[in-house]
């Protein structure tokens, strides 16, 4: 569950428990371009206070007007659409021809919100089924490939689990990558058994551990919502983590280092029973080619590659650090100076 939806549900629960009337809006379908994806949520309090987002702001303005003028005093869920025609699309801030379909529902008993938040925080995928006729809600375990669906008068929305990032090695680069990743809604752990690197390390919202890298990977039980990046430059630490990580379902496994070090690393890992197929999953040198030099720029390049992989984007070869540098070297021609007697 992304940060916006989690914060939206937390706000809806708090407002409802404080006695406010609350309407929850969920994006269920889009046509053409739209500012927010399917599954995005917005909680709207009776006095117009809101949390979350379903558009760039214009639809929110309309919903605020409707709830403060008591047009959204809903007894049961209902579907609404915005931007069906070009004129409406412009009026509501959607690209020309874009359409956004929402389900609006009054929040009654907030117990289901607590159940969704609790189960997703434990790493579970949770499905919530909303009966559009009665408003009845059921919370259950979600299937592996299940996603938001509206059919037969039932809206099924899927929440969680939260994406996790394990960083092996503490230091400036790890600190910058951790901070960026927290903003990207990863649950971040920094692992470094070297006390001199972790002592006094202050990273709000980040779990810092001093356990051995391989033990840390094993204890996390990485799944398809887990990324692992090694940053120590020390084979004794990085290799331990990679040997374990490449055998898991982690969607992203990367290691810092030069192209030469990366090839040496691959040769070492083969000796430790890592198969060639498993090695193909290793991203190294980690990150994408953006001309990064400083630790913060390198952290940006790693976060960008992680995001692309998470979202299923196939990156062009020129963004590969190894390929871009090889191409640059192959195109570089030495200048020959001709001597004259």
Q: Does residue 69 lie in a domain region?
A: yes
Q: Are residues 146 and 270 in the same domain?
A: no
Q: Are residues 111 and 199 in the same domain?
A: no
Q: Three-class SS of residue 206?
A: strand
Query: CATH no. for residue 187?
Result: 3.40.50.720
Last residue of a domain, one of 124, 159, 194: 159
pLDDT greater than 70 at residue 327: no
Q: Are residues 101 and 195 in the same domain?
A: no
**Which is nearest to 44 in space by CA: 72, 85, 18?**
72
What pLDDT score was predicted for residue 269? 94
As a whole number of angstroms, the distance between CA 92 and CA 81 comes to 11
Over residues 113-123, mean pLDDT = 89
Beta strand residue intervals within 169-231, DSSP E? 187-191, 206-209, 226-230
Q: Are residues 129 and 186 in the same domain?
A: no
Q: Does residue 341 lie in a domain region?
A: no
HSE of 248, CA atoms in CB hemisphere, 13 A:
23
Confidence of residue 339 (pLDDT cuts 50, 70, 90): very low
What pLDDT score was predicted for residue 330? 62
Q: Are residues 285 and 298 in the same domain?
A: yes
Number of structural domains, the chain? 2
Q: Are residues 188 and 145 in the same domain?
A: no
**Which is nearest to 83 in space by CA: 70, 100, 71, 66?**
100
What pLDDT score was predicted for residue 72? 86
Give the model confidence (pLDDT) of 23-49 as tens digits: 999 999 987 666 678 999 999 999 999
Q: Are residues 72 and 196 in the same domain?
A: no
Q: Does residue 95 lie in a domain region?
A: yes
Last residue of a domain, one of 99, 132, 159: 159
pLDDT greater than 90 at residue 232: yes
- Those residues whose C-beta lies under 8 Å from the C-beta of residue 190, and which sit 6 or more positions away, are 167, 169, 170, 174, 175, 178, 198, 201, 203, 206, 207, 208, 209
As a whole number of angstroms, the distance between CA 105 and CA 77 comes to 4
CA–chain centroid gap for 337, Å, is: 54
Q: Are residues 23 and 77 in the same domain?
A: yes
As a whole number of angstroms, the distance between CA 230 and CA 192 comes to 10
Q: Does residue 143 lie in a domain region?
A: yes
What pLDDT score was predicted for residue 207? 94
As a whole number of angstroms, the distance between CA 55 and CA 61 comes to 10
Q: Are residues 119 and 247 in the same domain?
A: no
Q: Which tops the pLDDT comparison, 230 or 327? A: 230
Structural domain that includes position 311: 164-325
Q: Does residue 333 lie in a domain region?
A: no
Q: Are residues 295 and 230 in the same domain?
A: yes
pLDDT greater than 90 at residue 138: yes
Q: Does residue 337 lie in a domain region?
A: no
As a whole number of angstroms, the distance between CA 54 and CA 94 comes to 11
Q: Are residues 189 and 118 in the same domain?
A: no
Rounded to 5°, angle at Cα 73 from 68 and 78: 120
As a whole number of angstroms, the distance between CA 31 and CA 214 comes to 46
What pLDDT score was predicted for residue 1? 56
Q: Does residue 206 lie in a domain region?
A: yes
Residue 29 near residue 38, CB atoms below 8 Å: yes
* DSSP-derived secondary structure letter, 32: S
Q: Are residues 18 and 122 in the same domain?
A: yes
Q: Does residue 60 lie in a domain region?
A: yes
């Amino acid at each position: 569950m992304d940060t916006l939806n989690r914060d939206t549900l937390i706000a809806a629960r708090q407002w409802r428990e404080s006695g406010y009337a609350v309407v929850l809006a969920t994006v269920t379908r889009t046509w053409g371009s739209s500012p927010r994806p399917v599954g995005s949520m917005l909680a709207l309090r009776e006095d117009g206070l809101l949390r979350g987002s379903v558009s760039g702001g214009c639809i929110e303005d309309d919903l605020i007007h409707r709830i403060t003028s008591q047009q959204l005093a809903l007894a049961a869920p209902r579907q609404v659409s915005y931007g069906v025609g070009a004129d409406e699309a412009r009026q509501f801030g959607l690209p020309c021809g874009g359409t956004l379909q929402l389900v609006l529902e009054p929040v009654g008993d907030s117990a289901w919100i607590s159940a969704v938040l609790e189960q997703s925080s434990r790493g579970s995928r949770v499905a919530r089924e909303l009966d559009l006729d009665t408003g009845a809600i059921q919370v259950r375990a979600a299937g592996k490939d299940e996603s938001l669906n509206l059919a037969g008068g039932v809206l099924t929305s899927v929440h969680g689990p939260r994406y996790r990032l394990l960083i092996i090695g503490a230091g400036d680069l790890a600190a910058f990558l951790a901070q960026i990743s927290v903003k990207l809604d990863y649950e971040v752990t920094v692992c470094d058994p070297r006390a001199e690197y972790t002592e006094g390390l202050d990273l709000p919202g980040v779990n810092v551990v001093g356990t051995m890298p391989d033990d840390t990977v094993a204890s996390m039980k990485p799944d398809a919502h887990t990324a692992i990046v090694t940053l120590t430059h020390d084979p004794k630490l990085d290799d331990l983590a990679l040997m374990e990580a490449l055998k898991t379902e982690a969607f992203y496994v990367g290691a810092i280092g030069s192209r030469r070090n990366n090839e040496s690393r691959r040769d070492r890992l083969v000796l430790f029973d890592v198969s060639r197929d498993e090695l193909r999953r290793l991203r190294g040198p980690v990150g994408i080619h953006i001309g990064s030099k400083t630790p913060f720029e390198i952290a940006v390049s790693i976060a960008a590659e992680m995001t692309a992989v998470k979202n299923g984007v196939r990156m062009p070869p020129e963004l590969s650090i190894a390929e871009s540098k090889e191409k640059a070297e192959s195109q570089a021609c030495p200048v020959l100076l001709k001597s004259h007697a």
